[in-house]
Amino acid sequence: MKIGIYGQFYHEHSEAYIQLILDALQHYDAEVLIKANFLKILKANKGISDHVLSMGTFEELDSSYDLFFSIGGDGTILRSVTYVRDLGIPIVGINSGRLGFLATIQKENVTESIQRILKGDYIISERALLSVSTEPAHPELEPLNFALNEIAVNRKNTTSMIRVETHLNGEYLTTYWSDGLIVATPTGSTGYSLSCGGPVIDPSTNSIVLTPIAPHNLNARPFVIPDDCTVTLKVSGREENYLMSLDSRIATLDNETVITIRKSPFSIKLVQLPDESFVKTLRKKLLWGEDKRN
């Protein structure tokens, strides 16, 4: 079994959990390769044993990997998606941070959970992505022109609203007068979109949600559409340009640039333990059903 490991940051007191993760993988005699820049971070901090720091590294993934371990929070998983891309490698999210909504494994149960996964005791949750193209073409988008959570347009360098002219499959929908617009997948419905009043959507649902950001036209509400729709946006405002974000990646676009958003031709595989579920995650991490009276 060949496993890749990636992390972005070294959280305080996280060395004990990282050590447990790597020890568990070595116990199963797996071929473990660490992203080169993450190994550099580990070496700069104390608390990780020398045998771990001598592990091999990788710069790019290929289809020979069986699993990809993402150590950190949801932001680290989103970054992991840019490495896995369309290779179909299942991602194991290990939460070493705080909320970790997308993470499969919590740091408190890391050894047991890894043992189960390496024995094949897991299921795959397929997650849809969104792809974007612009006219004129933007050099910063390729080849990472996709997002797992959302693609959003936001105002830049101004307190004034922007106008987001929106079409669905070529038919005019509306023009949002707002701070911006979020186009989110079901996976992203519990992120930025949720904080702007969007609905929670089960990841197995074949849909996309359009969520305006602080709309001035008060009748504008989040709108759930089928994921085979093509969403076309044209943004204008008092400034000459605006921001477009793809998960955590940001590009600056000129006014009147035409943005086309579609469902990506590939999906991401997230590893999930059989006794976990989306509903259980809502109760545990978003505290659904919490009531001091019960």
Show the domains of the chain with their CATH numbers.
2-122+273-285 (3.40.50.10330), 129-265 (2.60.200.30)
Q: What is the overall mean pLDDT for the chain? A: 89
Mean pLDDT for 240-249 is 94
Q: Given a cut of 80, is residue 141 above it in pLDDT? A: yes
Give burial (CB, 10 Å; 0-12/13-18/19+) of 159: exposed
Predicted local confidence at residue 215, as pLDDT: 95
Instruction: Please list, in sequence order, all residues whose beta carbon lies within 8 angstroms of the beta carbon of residue 270, skipping any fewer than 6 positions away.
Output: 77, 90, 91, 93, 102, 104, 124, 125, 127
pLDDT in tens, 2-21: 999 998 876 666 677 777 88
Hey, is 147 helix, strand or coil? strand
Mean pLDDT for 168-183 is 97
Phi, psi of 50 (to 5 degrees): -65, -35
Q: Band the pLDDT of 97: cuts 50, 70, 90.
A: low
Neighbours of 92 (CB within 10 A): 26
Predicted local confidence at residue 47, as pLDDT: 64
Q: Which of 85, 31, 35, 81 is nearest to 57 (CA)?
A: 35
More confident residue, 43 or 204: 204
Mean pLDDT for 79-91 is 95
Predicted local confidence at residue 46, as pLDDT: 67
Q: Given a cut of 80, is residue 235 above it in pLDDT? A: yes
Query: What is the spatial distance between Cα 286 and Cα 26, in angstroms, rounded to a whole number?
Result: 34
More confident residue, 211 or 107: 211
Where b means 16+ CB within 10 Å and e means fewer, 6-36 reads: bbbebbeebbebbbebbebbeeeebebbbbe
Please tell me the pTM assigned to this model: 0.91
pLDDT in tens, 43-81: 777 666 766 666 788 888 999 999 999 988 888 999 999
Q: Which of 97, 115, 6, 108 is nearest to 57 (CA)?
A: 6
Predicted local confidence at residue 69, as pLDDT: 93
Mean pLDDT for 173-191 is 96
pLDDT in tens, 282-294: 888 788 877 666 5
Q: Given a cut of 70, is residue 237 above it in pLDDT? A: yes
Q: Band the pLDDT of 210: cuts 50, 70, 90.
A: very high
More confident residue, 164 or 60: 164
Q: Which of 35, 39, 19 is nearest to 27 (CA)?
A: 19
Beta bridge partners of 131: 146, 262
Predicted local confidence at residue 125, as pLDDT: 95
Instruction: Please list, in sequence order, all residues whose beta carbon lies within 8 angstroms of the beta carbon of residue 181, skipping any fewer than 6 positions away.
Output: 152, 153, 164, 166, 210, 211, 212, 213, 233
Q: Given a cut of 70, is residue 165 above it in pLDDT? A: yes
Beta bridge partners of 268: 127
Predicted local confidence at residue 282, as pLDDT: 87
Predicted local confidence at residue 294, as pLDDT: 59
Q: Which of 221, 51, 224, 251 is nearest to 142 (CA)?
A: 251
Query: What is the spatial distance between Cα 183 and Cα 212, in angstroms, rounded to a whole number?
Result: 9
Q: Band the pLDDT of 39: cuts 50, 70, 90.
A: confident
- Is residue 41 within 8 A of residue 6, CB to CB? The reply is no
Query: What is the spatial distance between Cα 24 and Cα 222, in angstroms, rounded to a whole number?
Result: 44
Mean pLDDT for 151-173 is 95
**DSSP secondary structure of 248-272:** TEEEEEETT-EEEEEEEEEEEEEEE
Predicted local confidence at residue 196, as pLDDT: 96
Locate tokens 């307190």: which residue? 159
Q: Given a cut of 70, is residue 233 above it in pLDDT? A: yes
The answer to whether 74 is a known catalytic residue is: yes
Catalytic residue among 74, 247, 254, 275: 74
Mean pLDDT for 234-253 is 93
